Amino acid sequence: MSLTNVISLLGGLALFLYGMQMMSHGLEAAAGNRMKQILEKLTANRIMGVVLGAVITAVIQSSSATTVMVVGFVNSGLMTLSQAVWIIMGANIGTTITGQLIALDAGAVAPMIAFIGVVLIVFLKNEKSHYIGGILAGLGILFIGMDMMSASMSPLAESDSFINILTRFENPILGILAGMVFTALIQSSSASVGILQALAASGIVSLNSAAYILFGQNIGTCITALLASVGTNRNAKRATVIHIMFNVIGTILFTTLCLVTPLISWMQEITPGSVPGQIANMHTLFNVVTTIVLLPFGNRMTELAKIIMPDGHDKNNVNNHLVTVNKEGLGQSAIGIEETKKELEHMLGMARENVHGAFDVFISRDKDALAVIEKREDDVDCLNKEISRYITTAIPHESTETGSKMFSAYLTITGNTERISDHAMNIAGYSKMCDEMDASFSDTAKKEVKYIQDICDRLFGYLFNIGSDAIEWHTKVACMEQLIDDITREYRDNMFRRIQNEACSYQGSILYSEMLTDFERIGDHALNIADEIVNIKLIEK
């Protein structure tokens, strides 16, 4: 095998993998931020879940990408572990489409498929056409790369030493290990199966040795999901365990069948003139039969995964901070948006606690309670920086205008939430000044502060209960904000009357006025948050 052949092989592999990436990106752009709604509708039962997993994988030609998406969805709470089982099973079926298309010599029309895709991207302005074009162009490039790999390996058919090495893989253990290692290295079962078919098309390998390599390839593809589960919560790791269990059980089952039955001979008789076809059929049979066998035991697999990965202290479940942005990958838009939403809810909840506690501290001057608010304020500031960093990193990689708008809205929300907590900290911090200035408040002022606290509690109650009609909900929040403005004016007038009647101290009136200003600003920022939430609801439609 000459250097030219090696370069051609590597170039073909590069095109193959790039084609898969293009198709994944096209599907992500078309449905990324709507993936949550799609999953909720189509994973209601196990059959639809399997079909969904198969369809997604058939489109992007990569079970690894689908499984990584599933791990991400489980980690972010978009999908339950039970739903993940069916998607994973379907993904293993969908990945066999690549082999079948290769066996049918789809590479002959690959240039035309790629040309149609490029035409849709270059000459049409419609955004959806660009997405479809990306999928088609990626498919065409994938098969062009497959043809390049097949042509580059043809000289190996004349190498006795290489053929002798391959014949050793008729030993089940060696074949399975070889398939596992090779697929784990390139992290794509579709690519490794395609290379195996390319060797077969060149007359180098027969089904006798290819079968066991094929079974090992199904296990090796789990390495991608395994790597993706690093740093995720316990349920996401369990999804990876289920993926591994599926392929290990399938490998044990089919290795046994090949040893005790003439299964390989039967597959050779189905397509006697095409070893690539035999490999494709064995790959399809492996995943379809394994799915049928394990389908009734999906819930049992979930329970077994929980036994293997038992419940315990999981810091990722306690506070699932946004740490990294995966620039590529199916479903990353939906995952990023959902995780941002969860962190914002957590941040707004802390700001809510600070606001409620701040008014108590303002009157009671409880130093321990003030320390709790100060600590929580530091947490809000840290979370604000983390969310802002995450969003500004994610937006440049967001493939849709809708996703970008949602991230922008979330960025505005996090800024306003941080400012609410700042104003709460201001109100609580006035207690120190009260001690320093020896300020005092009248009983009337204390009752007013209590009523202000109740108004803020009602305001946050609205923010956390949007309901089905976002417009009506926004009207209620706007009315609350107006009420806050009215109360601020009324209570400031009351304060001036108390000053005239010498019913409150000069120092106390200064701090009380500052508190009213912070109270009014809390209402303003809450309305800003409501404005953005309504925008998000309209975007989601």
**Claim: this prediction has a pTM higher than 0.75:** no
Which positions ≥6 away from 442 have C-beta within 8 Å? 498, 503, 504
Task: Name every residue whose Cβ is closer than 8 Å to that of residue 350 and which is 6 or more positions away in sequence.
Answer: 376, 379, 380, 383, 421
Cα–Cα distances (Å) from 327 to 28, 112, 314, 335, 452, in that order, read 11, 30, 26, 12, 45
Give the pLDDT score at 379.
93
Biggest alpha carbon–alpha carbon distance for the chain: 108
pLDDT band at 6 (very low <50, low <70, confident <90, very high): confident
- Which is more confident, 124 or 161? 124
Q: In this predicted structure, what is the pLDDT of residue 138?
A: 86
pLDDT greater than 80 at residue 28: no
pLDDT for res 323: 44
The confidence score (pLDDT) of residue 41 equals 65
Say if CB 441 and CB 363 are below 8 A apart: yes
Identify the pLDDT of residue 315. Answer: 44
Please report which confidence band the pLDDT of residue 319 belongs to, taking 50, 70 and 90 as the band edges: very low
Report for 98-107, 140-149, 313-322, 511-520: range of highest mean pLDDT: 511-520
DSSP 399: -
Tokens at residue 56, please?
């997604």
pLDDT grade for 327, boundaries at 50, 70 and 90: very low
- Distance of alpha carbon 348 from alpha carbon 530, whole angstroms: 12
DSSP string, 32-98: GGGHHHHHHHH-SSHHHHHHHHHHHHHHHT-HHHHHHHHHHHHHHTSS-HHHHHHHHHHHHHHTHHH
Three-point CA angle 536, 539, 541, nearest 5°: 115
State the CB neighbour count (10 A cutoff) for residue 171.
13
Q: pLDDT at position 326, please?
A: 47
Interval 60-79 mean pLDDT: 76
Judged against a pLDDT cut of 80, whether residue 147 lies above it is answered with: no
Counting residues of the chain whose pLDDT is more than 70, the rounded percentage is 88
pLDDT recorded at residue 58: 80
Measured from the Cβ of residue 503, the count of other Cβ atoms closer than 10 Å reads 16
Q: Residue 363 class from Cβ within 10 Å (0-12 exposed, 13-18 middle, 19+ buried)?
A: middle
Average pLDDT over residues 309-329: 52
Has residue 24 got a pLDDT over 90? no
What local confidence, expressed as pLDDT, does residue 169 receive? 74
What are 191-229's pLDDT values in tens digits?
778 888 877 877 777 888 888 989 998 898 888 778 777
More confidently predicted of 370 and 274: 370
pLDDT (0 to 100) of residue 294: 92
Please tell me whether residue 155 adopts helix, strand or coil conformation. helix
How large a percentage of the chain has pLDDT more than 90?
31
What is the structure's pLDDT at 448? 93
pLDDT band, very low/low/confident/very high, at 232 (cuts 50, 70, 90):
confident
For the segment 517-530, the average pLDDT, to the nearest whole number, is: 95
Local confidence band at 324 (pLDDT 50, 70, 90 cut-offs): very low
Through-space distance between the first and last CA atoms of the chain, rounded to whole angstroms = 57
**Residue (of 344, 336, 512) closest to 418 by Cα position:** 344
Which residues, 6 or more positions from 236, have their beta carbon under 8 angstroms from its beta carbon? Answer: 71, 72, 74, 75, 229
Please, which residues have CB within 8 angstroms of residue 14's CB and are 6 or more apart in sequence?
145
Average pLDDT over residues 314-338: 55
**DSSP state letters, 405-448:** HHHHHHHHHHHHHHHHHHHHHHHHHHHHHHHHHT----HHHHHH
| DSSP 8-state assignment for residue 1 | -
- Give the model's pLDDT for residue 106: 65
The Cα 482–Cα 399 span in angstroms is 39
CA 194, CA 217: separation in Å to the nearest integer? 11
Asked if 377 and 310 touch (Cβ cutoff 8 Å), the reply is no
**148-164 average pLDDT score:** 68
- What is each CA distance from 339 to 396, 410, 512, in whole angstroms? 17, 11, 39
* Encoded tokens for 8: 């051609």
- Helix (H) / strand (E) element for 128: namely helix 127-152
Residues in the chain: 541
What's the pLDDT score for residue 156? Answer: 62
User: Considering the chain, what is the average pLDDT of its residues?
Assistant: 83
pLDDT single digits (tens) 367-387: 999 999 999 999 999 999 999
Higher-confidence residue of 538 and 413: namely 413
Stretch 506-511: mean pLDDT: 83
In the chain, the domains with their CATH numbers are 3-311 (no CATH), 332-540 (1.20.58.220)
Q: Which residue has the higher pLDDT, 185 or 426?
A: 426
